[in-house]
């Protein structure tokens, strides 16, 4: 079996950042020595081997991987998928060098203590270390909830740990076309799977039949958000032991008490069953955007048109200069009611189970 990694060489002679991240991930997962050779797609030379291989296999962007085995050829454009399959081929789980030797206990086994919330609540721990601690404890059983700019910061940090993790996103059916494109941009940029969760159709149909598509302008957003977002979140979280969000304390009056880590008892789960990590709780908006710019994190094109906090299309508008970042969400309602119900303020900070 021959395995080739195709990397892009930039005009300045260096490798592209995404190719280096892919290489780092394979190294931390102890899979780098399985790569037989590296072919370079030279930005300044269309005839370089990597560019030729890209044309041959119909791939637009490096990095990508080619496995040739007894006349069969398989091409991977997702580093995560490639790492998973390669680990399986070699008869081992895709475990990082840093990953704990943590046997995965039966999910929902109440006799097993998986995680103790530290007494300091990780209050002074830098966000990237909070992300790492969450993934060391929960790995793929920790789902990063993805919808906005902050969430991609978490994905970027998670990928750099080299540890396994999961990403999910709730598609309410009412998102901007730009947000759907953003979702795919993030998927492609990081080479990750994103579990896109859609609402149960019957309650949505019942609401629309009874009240139409814009009832929230008359009687508030809670009913539509419950049907399209909150129930979808409850359903997807049943598959996780922990979740991670990009919430920050300075985002709204309802988030000032936000814990960096706590047991989430708002999703029909008991203390000890579902940990919720908010690694960016202590960050400001400008710290978040400093990270985005410094690390080339992909963004939603709506930000260039004055949108800051972005939700569903009918319930989000661009903010005016000087307005708070969430002023564009459900702008016709009182500021203290501007939560969709995904993030209910009360969570249990009890130290441990
Ligand atoms: S944000 Fe608006 S459209 Fe989206 S689920 Fe809530 S009320 Fe419905």
Does the residue 115 lie in any domain? no
pLDDT over 70, % of the chain? 87
Does the residue 294 lie in any domain? yes
> Which residues, judged by CB distance below 6 Å to any ligand atom, belong to the binding site of ligand 1?
172, 174, 216, 221, 224-225, 228-229, 311-312, 314-315, 340
Q: What is the pLDDT of residue 271?
A: 74
DSSP per-residue letters across 50-116: HHHHHHHHT--SS-EEEEEETTEEEEES-HHHHHHHHHHHTTS----SSS-----PPTT-TT-----
Does the residue 291 lie in any domain? yes
**Given the CA of residue 340, which atom of ligand 1 is nearest to it?**
6
Name the pLDDT band for 109 (thresholds 50, 70, 90): very low
Q: Which of 76-85, 136-145, 277-286 has the lowest mean pLDDT?
A: 76-85
Name the residue at shortest CA distance from atom 7 of ligand 1: 221
pLDDT in tens, 113-131: 568 888 889 999 999 999 9
Judged against a pLDDT cut of 90, whether residue 346 lies above it is answered with no
Q: What is the pLDDT of residue 92?
A: 55
From 142, 225, 312, 340, the catalytic residue = 340
Q: Which of 62-71, 201-210, 220-229, 262-271 has the lowest mean pLDDT?
A: 262-271
Does the residue 346 lie in any domain? no
CA torsion sign for 180, 183, 184, 189 is positive
Name the residue at shortest CA distance from atom 6 of ligand 1: 225
pTM: 0.69
What tokens were used for 106? 């039966």
The CATH number of residue 47's host domain is 3.40.30.10
Cα 273 from chain centroid? Answer: 21
Judged against a pLDDT cut of 80, whether residue 40 lies above it is answered with yes
Does the residue 270 lie in any domain? yes
In angstroms and rounded to an integer, the radius of gyration of the C-alpha atoms of the chain is 22
Residues 80 and 150 in one domain: no
242 φψ region: left (φ > 0), alpha (ψ -120 to 50), beta (else)? beta
**Given the CA of residue 227, which atom of ligand 1 is nearest to it?**
5
Domain boundary among 64, 89, 114: 89
The answer to whether the CB of 259 falls within 8 A of the CB of 349 is yes
Q: Is 224 a catalytic residue?
A: no
Q: What is the pLDDT of residue 337?
A: 63
Find the largest Cα–Cα distance for the chain: 65
Instruction: Report how far ligand 1's centroid is from the alpha carbon of 329 (Å).
Output: 10
For the chain, first and last CA: distance in Å?
Answer: 48
Does the residue 311 lie in any domain? yes
**Given the CA of residue 329, which atom of ligand 1 is nearest to it?**
1
Give how far Cα 315 sits from Cα of 43, 53, 223, 230, 295, Å: 43, 46, 13, 16, 30
Q: What is the pLDDT of residue 95?
A: 37
Residues 280 and 165 in one domain: yes
Q: What is the pLDDT of residue 99?
A: 34
Does the residue 121 lie in any domain? no
Instruction: Report how far ligand 1's centroid is from the alpha carbon of 221 (Å).
Output: 6
The CATH number of residue 280's host domain is 3.40.50.620
Residues 190 and 333 in one domain: yes
3-state secondary structure 129-191: HHHHHHHHHHHHHEEEECCCHHHHHHHHHHHHHCCCCEEEEECCCCECHHHHHHHHHHHHHHC
Residues 84 and 153 in one domain: no
Q: Which of 125-134, 234-243, 302-311, 338-347 has the lowest mean pLDDT?
A: 338-347
Range of the domain at 293: 127-337
Residues 6+ apart with CB under 8 A from 107: 141, 241
Distance from C-alpha of 8 to C-alpha of 21, rounded to nearest angstrom: 12
What does the angle CA 131 – CA 136 – CA 139 come to, to the nearest 5 degrees? Answer: 90
Residues 281 and 233 in one domain: yes
In the predicted model, what is the mean pLDDT of residues 281-285? Answer: 94
Instruction: Report how far ligand 1's centroid is from the alpha carbon of 225 (Å).
Output: 5
Does the residue 303 lie in any domain? yes
pLDDT in tens, 150-195: 999 999 999 999 899 999 999 999 999 999 999 999 999 999 999 9
Name the pLDDT band for 242 (thresholds 50, 70, 90): very high
Residues 297 and 165 in one domain: yes
Residues 85 and 132 in one domain: no
Judged against a pLDDT cut of 50, whether residue 94 lies above it is answered with no
Instruction: Report how far ligand 1's centroid is from the alpha carbon of 175 (Å).
Output: 9
Residues 253 and 326 in one domain: yes
Q: Report the candidate in 140, 182, 181 with the shortest Cα–Cα distance to residue 158.
A: 140
Task: Please provide the average confidence, as pLDDT, over all residues in the chain.
Answer: 86
Judged against a pLDDT cut of 80, whether residue 112 lies above it is answered with no
Judged against a pLDDT cut of 60, whether residue 253 lies above it is answered with yes
Number of domains in the chain: 2
Distance from C-alpha of 235 to C-alpha of 198, rounded to nearest angstrom: 10
Residues 214 and 286 in one domain: yes
Residues 304 and 170 in one domain: yes
Name the residue at shortest CA distance from atom 2 of ligand 1: 315
């Amino acid at each position: 079996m021959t395995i080739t990694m195709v990397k892009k060489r930039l005009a300045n002679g260096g490798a592209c950042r995404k190719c280096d991240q892919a290489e780092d991930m394979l190294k931390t997962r102890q899979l780098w020595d399985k790569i037989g050779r590296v072919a370079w797609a030279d930005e300044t030379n269309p005839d370089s081997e990597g560019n030729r291989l890209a044309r041959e296999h119909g791939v637009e962007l490096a990095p990508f991987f080619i496995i040739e085995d007894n006349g069969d050829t398989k091409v991977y454009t997702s580093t995560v998928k490639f790492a998973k399959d390669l680990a399986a081929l070699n008869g081992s789980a895709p475990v990082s060098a840093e990953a704990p030797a943590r046997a995965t206990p039966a999910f929902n086994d109440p006799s097993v203590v998986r995680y103790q919330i530290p007494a300091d609540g990780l209050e002074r721990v830098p966000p990237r270390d909070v992300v790492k601690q969450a993934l060391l404890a929960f790995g793929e059983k920790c789902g990063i909830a993805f919808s906005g700019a902050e969430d991609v910061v978490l994905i970027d940090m998670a990928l750099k740990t080299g540890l396994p993790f999961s990403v999910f996103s709730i598609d309410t059916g009412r998102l901007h076309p730009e947000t759907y494109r953003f979702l795919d941009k993030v998927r492609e940029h990081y080479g990750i799977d994103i579990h896109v969760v859609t609402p149960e159709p019957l309650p949505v149909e019942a609401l629309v039949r009874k009240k139409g598509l814009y009832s929230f302008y008359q009687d508030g957003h809670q009913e539509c958000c419950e049907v399209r977002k909150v129930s979808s979140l409850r359903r997807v979280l049943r598959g996780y032991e922990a979740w991670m969000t990009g919430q920050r304390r300075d985002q709204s009056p309802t988030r000032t008490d936000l814990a960096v880590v706590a047991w989430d008892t708002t999703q029909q789960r008991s203390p000890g069953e579902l940990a919720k990590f908010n690694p960016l709780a202590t960050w400001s908006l400008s710290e978040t955007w400093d990270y985005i710019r410094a690390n080339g994190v992909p963004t939603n094109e709506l930000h260039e048109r004055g949108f800051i906090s972005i939700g569903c299309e009918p319930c989000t508008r661009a903010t005016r200069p000087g307005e708070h970042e969430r002023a564009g969400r459900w702008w016709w309602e009182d500021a203290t009611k501007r939560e969709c119900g995904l993030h209910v303020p009360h969570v249990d900070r009890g130290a441990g189970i």
